[in-house]
């Protein structure tokens, strides 16, 4: 029973990681842009959300409604002003640019919000739980998982069946050939990054409801997102979702073995996948 | 008759290496022009310069008399030029239909008008209908070339640039693909066909240009130029013509 409980909690934790990983799956898995500031953007959005909630007494839903469009705008600007200048076949320039942005954001946040940990007041929802077959399941983690599933499903459909999705997949496969077909890759990439960071708007609200956030927390979120995408397989949206589940379950089971072992267990599973199946559990092998 | 597409002293370079030394060409509406020359003569560079894939001065390329040199590639497509690139450059990981749909999407986005539809393309290359759901990388070379041609046509071009569409294909498949060109021309599309096979180039075009080391060395009506003239222009003076 204890292990079944760990499994359920792991899946629920995976729902949180999936929200970080989806944006990463789009940027790193599809566009091949390494965004080191991914985690810092989640933290920045969380802190903005918390400040709005405290200043105006907003409920989490209202914060979400304001934060997601703001995140979309941030993503669009990030691509327009920074990433479009460094995209190309070489991944190094985007890595360096976003690494610099990551450090700048962390220090900016430290300046504005100080190093204190904060969280978003959830008015009781964060502590509610329901009992299913002898296991207590938190209401908030269930919502997180449901939202993550919905976002994955929606993103997958957008990529497969819309003009924007096809243009993005084409630009990712061969950016020059895409422009020869009339696609403006920069416009498509700007929209894709807007979507990716927009999803982080959801992650920010749920992360700050679930636990506390502080300006230096970004890099850890970045690592989880990277691990989930690589475990799942590059370029596969559902792969990133399932990779997040694997990571969540590994951590939850690790925590049951020893409270200090949880995060390490996740890293070990990641390393094991990387060593034995580098294309990811659900990715296609490329030559 | 004014040229639909013309180049004027076109110069292109890759860094310090100059690849084109003042190329003057023109293409009239509905015309098919062949561009022949040995490897490294600058044929692909010429097409890439027109498409805005290499930096060139504005006055060097004119479309309907308007200077367009160095315009971004996607803008050139919007202006009515499409290319079947060397090596096909299909979108791997996507189905045949999705590859073609990308072009249809973009043509619809910019409101490009032209007669090419998926149905008409399927009539031209029936195999594309059969393979619609297959991933492009699973197709044979000839089938992939048909997808590349189809993708370019669905951009609804007034000018189609074909870069070595026979490269690496079996003779039977080459004949099949070249048999489609008259139908494309019948739709009013002007064409520049880059081709290594001189005989094929002559039969598929009205006029031809021969290039050598970044310069045009011969031009004339495809039916009029002799093998001897081509041999001289192709290899340069002093080489024996086989």
**CA A150, CA A160: separation in Å to the nearest integer?**
15
Beta-strand pair B207-212/B215-221? antiparallel
Count of CA atoms in the C-beta half-sphere (13 A) of B179: 9
Nearest chain A residue to B81, by CA = A180
Task: Using a pLDDT cut of 70, give the percent of chain B over it.
Answer: 97
Residue A127 included in any domain = no
pLDDT digits (tens, 9 = 90+) for B171-213: 999 999 999 999 999 888 999 999 988 999 999 999 999 999 9
**CA A115, CA A112: separation in Å to the nearest integer?**
9
Residue A154 included in any domain = yes
Total tally of structural domains belonging to chain A = 1
Q: Which pLDDT band holds residue A284 (cuts at 50, 70, 90)?
A: low
Token couple for A223: 């690592």
CATH number for the domain harbouring residue A224: 1.10.3470
Residue A200 included in any domain = yes
Residue A282 included in any domain = no
pLDDT digits (tens, 9 = 90+) for B51-80: 999 999 999 999 999 999 999 999 999 999
Virtual torsion, Cα A170, A174, A179, A183, nearest 10 deg? 20
Q: What local confidence, expressed as pLDDT, does residue A275 receive?
A: 92
Cβ neighbour number for residue A231 with a 10 Å cutoff? 28
Among B residues 105-164, those touching chain A with beta carbons less than 8 Å apart? 105-110, 112, 151-152, 155
Q: Which pLDDT band holds residue A108 (cuts at 50, 70, 90)?
A: very high
Q: What local confidence, expressed as pLDDT, does residue A285 receive?
A: 54
Residue A161 included in any domain = yes
Query: pTM score, two decimals?
Result: 0.89
Cβ neighbour number for residue B101 with a 10 Å cutoff? 22
Q: What local confidence, expressed as pLDDT, does residue B242 receive?
A: 45
A184 lies within 8 A of chain B by CB: yes
Task: Using a pLDDT cut of 90, give the percent of chain A over it.
Answer: 75
**Nearest CA distance, B76 vs chain A (angstrom):** 8
- The distance in angstroms from the start CA to the end CA of chain A is 44
Burial of B78 (0-12, 13-18, 19+ CB in 10 A): buried
**CA B56, CA A80: separation in Å to the nearest integer?**
25
**CA A188, CA A165: separation in Å to the nearest integer?**
9
B103 lies within 8 A of chain A by CB: yes
Which among A166, A181, A184 is the nearest to B155, CB-wise?
A181
Residue A236 included in any domain = yes
Token couple for A279: 């294309």
Indicate the CATH number for domain B5-235: 3.40.50.300
Q: Which value does ipTM take for this structure?
A: 0.90
Residue A42 included in any domain = yes
Please enumerate in sequence order all residues whose Cβ is within 8 A of that of B235, keeping only pairs 6 or more positions apart, or say none. Answer: B38, B212, B241
Q: What local confidence, expressed as pLDDT, does residue B238 receive?
A: 56
Token couple for A133: 């077959």
Domain span at residue A33? 2-116+134-276
């Amino acid at each position: 029973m204890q292990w079944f409980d760990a499994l359920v909690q792991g899946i629920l934790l995976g729902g949180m990681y999936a929200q970080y990983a989806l944006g990463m799956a789009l940027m790193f898995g599809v566009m091949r842009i390494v965004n080191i500031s991914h985690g810092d953007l989640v933290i920045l959005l969380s802190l903005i959300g918390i400040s709005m909630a405290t200043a105006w007494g907003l409920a989490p839903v209202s914060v979400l409604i304001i934060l997601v469009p703001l995140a979309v705008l941030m993503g669009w600007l990030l691509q327009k002003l920074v990433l479009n200048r460094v995209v190309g076949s070489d991944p190094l320039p985007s890595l360096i640019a976003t690494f610099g942005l990551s450090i700048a954001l962390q220090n900016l946040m430290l300046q504005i919000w100080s190093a204190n940990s904060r969280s978003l007041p959830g008015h009781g929802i964060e502590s509610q739980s329901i009992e299913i077959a002898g296991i207590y399941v938190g209401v908030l983690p269930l919502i997180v998982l449901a939202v993550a599933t919905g976002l994955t499903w929606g993103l997958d459909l957008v990529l497969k069946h819309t003009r924007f999705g096809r243009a993005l997949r084409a630009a990712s496969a061969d950016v020059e050939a895409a422009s020869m077909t009339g696609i403006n890759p920069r416009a498509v990439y700007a929209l894709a990054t807007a979507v990716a960071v927009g999803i982080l708007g959801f992650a920010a609200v749920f992360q700050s409801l679930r636990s506390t956030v502080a300006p230096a927390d970004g890099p850890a979120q970045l690592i989880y997102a990277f691990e989930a995408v690589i475990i799942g397989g590059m370029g596969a949206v559902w792969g990133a979702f399932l990779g997040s589940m694997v990571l969540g379950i590994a951590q939850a089971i690790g925590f049951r073995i020893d409270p200090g072992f949880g995060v390490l267990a996740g890293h070990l599973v990641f390393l094991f996948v990387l060593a034995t199946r580098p294309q990811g559990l659900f990715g296609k092998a490329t030559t | 008759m004014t040229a639909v597409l013309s180049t004027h002293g076109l110069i292109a370079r890759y860094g310090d290496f100059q690849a084109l030394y003042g190329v003057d060409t023109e293409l009239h509406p509905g015309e098919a022009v062949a561009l022949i020359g040995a490897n490294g003569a600058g044929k692909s560079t010429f097409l890439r310069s027109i498409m805005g894939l290499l930096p060139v001065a504005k006055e060097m390329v004119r479309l309907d008399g308007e200077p367009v040199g160095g315009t971004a590639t996607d803008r050139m497509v919007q202006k009515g030029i499409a290319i079947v690139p060397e090596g096909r450059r299909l979108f791997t990981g996507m189905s045949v239909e999705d590859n073609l749909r990308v072009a249809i999407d973009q043509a619809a986005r910019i409101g490009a008008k032209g007669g090419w539809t998926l149905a008409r393309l399927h009539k031209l290359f029936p195999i594309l209908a059969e393979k619609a759901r297959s991933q492009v990388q699973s197709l044979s070379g000839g089938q992939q070339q048909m997808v590349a041609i189809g993708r370019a046509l669905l951009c609804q071009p007034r000018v189609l640039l074909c870069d070595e569409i026979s490269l690496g294909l079996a003779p039977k498949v080459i004949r099949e693909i070249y048999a489609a060109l008259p139908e494309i021309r019948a739709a009013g599309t002007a064409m520049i066909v880059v081709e290594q096979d001189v005989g094929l180039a002559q039969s598929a075009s009205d006029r031809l240009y021969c290039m050598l080391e970044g310069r045009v060395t011969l031009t004339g009506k495809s039916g009029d130029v002799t093998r001897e003239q081509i041999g001289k222009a192709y290899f340069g003076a002093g080489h024996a013509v086989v």
